[in-house]
Amino acid sequence: MTRVLRITGVTLFAVILWQALVSATGLPRFILPAPTLVFDTLWKSRALIAQHALVTGTEVLLGLLIGAALGFGTALLLAASHLARAVLRPMLVFSQAVPVFALAPILTLWLGYGLWSKIAMALLIIYFPVTSAFFDALMRTPTGWLELAKVMGSTPLRMLWRIQVPAAMPGFASGLRLAAVYAPIGAIIGEWVGASQGLGYLMLLANGRAKTDLMFAALIALAVLTLVLHAAVDRLCRRWDR
């Protein structure tokens, strides 16, 4: 409750500051629209914004889901197999030298202007953080637990599934929390490179028509989307915290 109050307070303060800035400087509305104007636009264009937010939300959610599943699987594979570690790990590390943003035009070329190029962007951005957070946690399983399992006569695969995986879930959760923040960034970049729907697209469109108030309204919608997503993922992850 106090947290909600604090956040509300800070937001209110920022809005007042924003309004004061606009009043004091007299900046034209196509550079910095007043908050009253932005909220007015947000309300009047709510159907339009909601429609585009739904598209971006779908991209982010699917990217998050698929990316998290792939990251989970890759980390498991790496933990289970020496061969996979020897082959995949250098590739994964090397792949990090390529800025994911730079792939956006290529993904659009390959996957088209629709949802999938954005899902792929979101997925690629979160894949490495999820994989490495979970893999590191899998490899950090307390040796005492592993030795106990060995004395009990466990097979390596059962040890992985029944001890290492549950022990590493807090690590997976922290990867997932990061992913919830990164995934919207990926989707928006994808939309900027080429799209006909989504909040990123709407921002570019509004910008082109000098509708700065709409741009800000779309930005606010995006921020809310990211916050809600983060809160939801955080709630989901709490079960794995210890």
Partner 1 sequence: MTSPALSLSGSASIGGEQVFAPLVFTVPAGQWTCLLGPSGVGKSTILRLFAGLDDGITFDGQITTSNDLPFKGRVSLMAQSDLLMPWLDLPENVCLGARLRGESADLTRACHLLTQVGLSDHLDKRPTALSGGQRQRVALARTLMEDRPIVLLDEPFSALDAKSRAQMQNLAADLLTGRTVLHVTHDTAEAARLADQVLLMGANGITCPTPPQTHPPRAFDAPETQGFDGYLLRLMLEAT
Query: Considering the complex, what minimum distance in angstroms separates the CB of residue 125 from partner 1?
Result: 30
Query: Considering the complex, what minimum distance in angstroms separates the CB of residue 172 from partner 1?
Result: 13
Q: Three-state SS for 198?
A: coil
- Nearest residue (CB) to partner 1, 122 versus 160: 160
Distance CA 138, CA 50 (A): 40
Joined tokens for residue 208: 């082109």
- Nearest residue (CB) to partner 1, 235 versus 242: 242
Residues within the interface to partner 1 (CB under 8 A): 144-145, 147-155, 158-159, 162-163, 166-167, 169, 242
Distance CA 35, CA 15 (A): 7
Residue with tokens 């390959």: 110
- Nearest residue (CB) to partner 1, 150 versus 209: 150
Distance CA 172, CA 81 (A): 19
Query: Considering the complex, what minimum distance in angstroms separates the CB of residue 126 from partner 1?
Result: 25
Query: How many H helices and E strands in the chain?
Result: 11, 0
- Nearest residue (CB) to partner 1, 154 versus 207: 154
Cβ of 223: how many Cβ atoms within 10 Å? 11
Strands (E), 142-201: none
Residue 119: enclosing H or E segment and its boundaries? helix 115-139
- Nearest residue (CB) to partner 1, 76 versus 185: 76
Chain centroid to Cα 201, Å, comes to 18
Q: Identify whether the C-beta of residue 37 lies closer than 8 Å to the C-beta of residue 126.
A: no
- Nearest residue (CB) to partner 1, 110 versus 147: 147
Query: Considering the complex, what minimum distance in angstroms separates the CB of residue 144 from partner 1?
Result: 5
